[in-house]
Amino acid sequence: MDRALYVGMTGATQTMQAQAVNSHNLANANTLGFKAQLVEAEAVTVRGDGLKTRVNVRSTDGGWNSSAGTLQQTGRDLDIALSGSNNWLAVQSADGSEAYTRRGDLQIDSLGRLLTGSGEAVMGEGGPLSIPPASAMSIASDGTISIVPAGQSAATQAVVGRLKVVSAQPSQLTRGADGLMRSSPGVRLDSAPGAVVTSGALESSNVNLAESMVNMISLARQFELQSKLMKTADENAQASSSLMKMSG
């Protein structure tokens, strides 16, 4: 295979992968608590005869942007924002395992289960949380959930559980295909002490829209350039073939 054609082909493939990640980030720019995925460029030596002077670029998973998103005040009792950038709310994923999220738009379904806005059951210290019928509910800064039982006066309050919030460094977590975080193999996460949530607020996605749009345009131009390189290599090959036929 012509070297220029191979360089253009591999470059275009890696650019498409980087564009897919960037598009995924843009699609989640309004997803609460979303962490932008990162892509890293890795130099890979081209194997073969001769001196090892040629390298290709390969796109690899660079993890995610661990910075906190913007805090949005809502005033809603069931909305929470995790304090700091290393605190995570424990939820139960679709396969029943414990996972972690920064999404805090909580809701109570018809069965009294406390869920995130995307439908995962919120975990307490002893398992998924259920909220009894209540006329009012509040979440303290340490994650303690208190209610005014239905039919009781506002002066009557009962504690029904506490949100499970863990503290984890980015290196201690891996992102799953469902967008939820899980502890890395061999890592045990401890509950975060003290004030871990802010009630009546939500954390937005940390995707930088302007940067992502510029990146999308840049990647599109790179792909166009690599496509032209492949076309030029093909045209040169056809011209060389024609010359060979003429000389023959």
Give the tens place of pLDDT for each residue, 81-130: 999 889 999 999 999 999 999 999 999 999 999 999 999 999 998 899 99
**pLDDT for residue 188:** 92
Q: Which of 7-21, 33-47, 193-207, 224-238 has the highest mean pLDDT?
A: 193-207
- Write out the two tokens for 54: 């040629």
The reply to whether 222 and 197 lie within a common domain is no
Same domain, 109 and 218: no
Q: Is residue 179 part of a domain?
A: yes
81/149 same-domain check: yes
Give 210's strand partners: none
* pTM, full prediction: 0.81
Range of the domain at 34: 3-66+207-247
Instruction: Please tell me whether residues 237 and 153 are part of one structural domain.
Output: no
179 in the same domain as 97: yes
Tell me how far apart the terminal alpha carbons of the chain are, to the nearest angstrom: 23
Q: What's the pLDDT tens digit per position in 177-228?
A: 898 999 999 999 999 999 999 999 999 999 999 999 999 999 999 888 888 8
| Structural domain includes residue 89 | yes
Residue 169 covered by a domain: yes
Please count the structural domains in the chain: 2
- The answer for residues whose C-beta is within 8 angstroms of residue 244's C-beta and 6 or more apart is none
Q: What angle do CA 39, 19, 221 make, to 5 degrees?
A: 115
Nearest of 228, 225, 120 to residue 164 by alpha carbon = 120
